[in-house]
């Protein structure tokens, strides 16, 4: 059997879990990330429910099977080689949207798209998180990484988080139980805290004003970012009191091409896939950018993008 089509030895045991969620074997990951790059994963589960997630996490950890959690696959770089593990792709019940009794408060599932979340808040006349319209991820990722834009951060509006540990046990904690910082939270799946949903409290505002703010955020993205080309969003974190894009542009790297990857001519902290880019094109371009910026400015740019090792 071709190695690319090999079924792993742990496949029968995974089948015995009798999940309600779909399991795929040797599935290409290109359409599961916004860069449209990457090789296949031995296993991929479209996780539909908390019950299935509660079966999967203990099984994977008990059997030492590598696993990785994704929603829309933004902020993620995947190697072209075969990944010998299981991708947990949240969908189904994890796309929930449930307004709460408390005014301007909603519980959103971890797989709900940030864009959808922002649009629904606008329709309710809820203000504060219009910036989510420009973030190409999901609520779970936004909470776990404290995503933000236009001066706003996710943690400012989180009131409570529902999460699952690696034993499959569900916890419900207030926001103050966890530390949040720039593009960081203690809700890290690999450290044993998988966000399944979060409750947010926003402010009541004139619906027309909320819509106007959202449109301004959307217009900024369309004018300043390469929204129509595959990318991961921002590649590097902003250094303290500065911007990664400014430093990259000062180093004359805007438009730099390696293979089929390019530092976007529109926004220097975006690397775009020009079509059929290889993961090595991206890795090589990231290294070039970091090295040149360090030579020019003595600042080491830290990747914001996660890497599936």
The rounded average pLDDT for each run of 10 residues, N- to C-terminus, in the chain (309 residues) is: 78 95 96 96 98 98 96 94 96 97 96 96 93 93 93 96 98 97 92 96 91 91 92 95 97 98 98 97 98 98 93
Q: What 3-state DSSP class applies to 156?
A: helix
From the list 41, 185, 231, 234, the catalytic residue is 234
Please answer whether residues 272 and 36 qualify as being in contact, where contact means their C-beta atoms are separated by less than 8 angstroms: no
Cα–Cα distance for residue pair 185/191, rounded to 1 Å: 11
Please answer whether residues 94 and 109 qualify as being in contact, where contact means their C-beta atoms are separated by less than 8 angstroms: yes
Q: Residue 255 to residues 177, 252, 272, 274: CA-CA distances in angstroms?
A: 43, 8, 10, 11
From the list 27, 50, 153, 304, the catalytic residue is 304
May I ask the CATH architecture of the domain 3-93? 2-Layer Sandwich (3.30)
Q: Does 183 qualify as catalytic in the annotation?
A: yes
DSSP output for 23-41: EEEEEE-GGGSTT----EE
DSSP single-letter state for residue 269: T
Q: Does 304 qualify as catalytic in the annotation?
A: yes
- Which residue in 106, 95, 98, 96 sits closest to 204, CA to CA? 106
Q: Does 234 qualify as catalytic in the annotation?
A: yes
Give the pLDDT confidence score for residue 1 in this predicted structure: 44
Give the pLDDT confidence score for residue 308 in this predicted structure: 92
For domain 244-308, the question of CATH label 3.90.78.10 is answered with: yes
Give the pLDDT confidence score for residue 4 in this predicted structure: 72
- Which residue in 35, 59, 34, 62 sits closest to 45, CA to CA? 59
Fold designation for 96-224: 3.30.465
- Which residue in 136, 46, 51, 54 sits closest to 91, CA to CA? 46
The ranges assigned to domains in the chain are 3-93, 96-224, 244-308
Q: Which helix (H) or strand (E) holds 132?
A: none
Q: Which helix (H) or strand (E) holds 135?
A: none
Cα–Cα distance for residue pair 196/172, rounded to 1 Å: 10
Give the pLDDT confidence score for residue 2 in this predicted structure: 54
pTM over 0.85: yes
From the list 24, 120, 183, 246, the catalytic residue is 183
């Amino acid at each position: 059997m071709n190695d690319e089509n090999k079924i792993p030895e742990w496949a029968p045991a995974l089948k015995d879990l009798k999940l309600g969620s779909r399991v795929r074997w040797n599935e290409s990951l290109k359409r599961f990330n916004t860069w449209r790059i990457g090789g296949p994963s031995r296993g991929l589960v479209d996780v539909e429910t908390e019950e299935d997630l509660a079966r999967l996490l203990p099984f994977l950890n008990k059997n030492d099977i590598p696993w990785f959690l994704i929603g829309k696959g933004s902020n993620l770089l995947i190697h072209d080689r075969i990944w010998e593990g299981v991708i947990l792709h949240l969908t189904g019940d994890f796309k929930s949207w449930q307004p709460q009794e408390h005014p301007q408060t909603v519980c959103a599932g971890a797989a709900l798209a940030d864009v959808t979340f922002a649009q629904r808040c606008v329709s309710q006349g809820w203000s504060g998180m219009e910036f989510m319209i420009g973030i190409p991820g999901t609520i779970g990722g936004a909470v776990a990484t404290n995503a933000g834009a236009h001066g706003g951060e996710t943690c400012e509006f989180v009131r409570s988080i529902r999460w699952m540990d690696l034993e499959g046990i569900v916890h419900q904690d207030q926001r103050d139980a966890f530390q949040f910082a720039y593009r960081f939270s203690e809700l890290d799946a690999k450290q044993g805290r998988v966000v399944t949903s979060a409750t947010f409290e926003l402010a009541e505002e004139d619906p027309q004003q909320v819509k106007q703010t959202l449109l301004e955020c959307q217009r900024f993205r369309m004018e300043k970012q390469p929204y129509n080309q595959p990318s991961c969003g921002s590649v590097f974190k902003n250094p303290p009191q500065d911007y990664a894009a400014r430093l990259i542009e000062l180093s004359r790297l805007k438009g730099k091409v390696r293979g089929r990857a390019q530092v976007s001519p529109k926004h220097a902290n975006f690397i775009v896939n020009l079509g059929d880019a290889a993961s090595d094109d991206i890795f090589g371009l990231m290294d070039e950018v970091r090295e040149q910026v360090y030579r020019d400015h003595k600042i080491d740019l830290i990747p914001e993008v996660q890497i599936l090792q």
